[in-house]
Amino acid sequence: MVKENLGQVLKNIEQACQKSGRDPKEVTLIAVSKTKPVPMLEEAYCAGSRDFGENKVQEIMDKYPVLPKDIHWHMIGHLQRNKVKYIVDKVCLIHSVDSLRLAEEISSQAEKKQVEVDILVEVNIAQEESKFGVSKEEAIQLVEAISKLPHIHIQGLMAIAPFVENPEDNRAYFRQIKKLSVDIMKKNIDNVSMSALSMGMTGDYMVAVEEGSTMVRVGTGIFGERNYS
Ligand SMILES: *Cc1c(COP(=O)(O)O)cnc(C)c1O
């Protein structure tokens, strides 16, 4: 099932790229494996997945040692400062940086572990109270402040769009995020790249790709519904 789903998602990404004149190689599919057991991740791995997304530090700690070392782990969930030390040397990208204090902790733990850490700044695009992330206005200030820290490198922006029935309803938000990343890029800030745009989930990743996403985070569409009970 996982293999077939993966194939379908990749086909959809390709189609969205075709429609918008993009190269599918620009888009990384992150298989969001939170709550899913290791054998399901192995199935995805065997079908070709190398990028996995998790939203809990503990789950990364549990899965990291038992899965192949060439997996790129993405931290996509809210990250508490006291847990940064457990994952800075395990993840390839932290998508969810939304405060200077968190960035400072990542920088300091990276120094201790002698690693360089790539991050994205999380933007709360629809200003939803239930979601983490900074406003578009705060984003620029935060990027500028983080850019001065050692051992931490901003690669772009991450956004979680509202849950909607019709993915078209999120198109304007994705467009705003893309525009924000271009505006920040034009500032040519040292130690800041805006090459990555992490947006789009199961319900809306095709629209996100059409609007410039370079990383889609798909869970349900690959692994099926999550069971939280
Ligand atoms: C769970 C999660 C996803 C995946 O959601 P699906 O709708 O299952 O594709 C993507 N991004 C973040 C930040 C998540 O927490």
pLDDT in tens, 99-123: 999 999 999 999 999 999 999 999 9
CA of 75 to the centre of ligand 1 (A): 11
Q: In the prediction, which pLDDT does 36 show?
A: 97
Average pLDDT of the chain is: 97
Place of tokens 């099926």: 224
Helix, strand, coil content of the chain in percent (nearest 5): 45, 20, 35
Q: In the prediction, which pLDDT does 134 show?
A: 95
Task: Determine the atom of ligand 1 nearest the C-alpha atom of 34.
Answer: 1
Task: Determine the atom of ligand 1 nearest the C-alpha atom of 220.
Answer: 8
Alpha helices in the chain (DSSP H): 2-20, 38-46, 57-63, 84-87, 100-113, 136-147, 171-186, 205-210, 220-223
Q: In the prediction, which pLDDT does 211 show?
A: 98
Q: How far apart are CA 3 and CA 116, in angstroms?
A: 33
Residue 167 beta carbon below 6 angstroms from any ligand 1 atom: no
Residues paired with residue 72 on neighbouring β-strands, in sequence order? 51
CA of 177 to the centre of ligand 1 (A): 18
- The 10s digit of each residue's pLDDT in 174-224 is 999 999 999 999 999 999 999 999 999 999 999 999 999 999 999 999 999
CA of 52 to the centre of ligand 1 (A): 11
pLDDT band at 229 (very low <50, low <70, confident <90, very high): low
Q: Above 80 in pLDDT, residue 228?
A: no
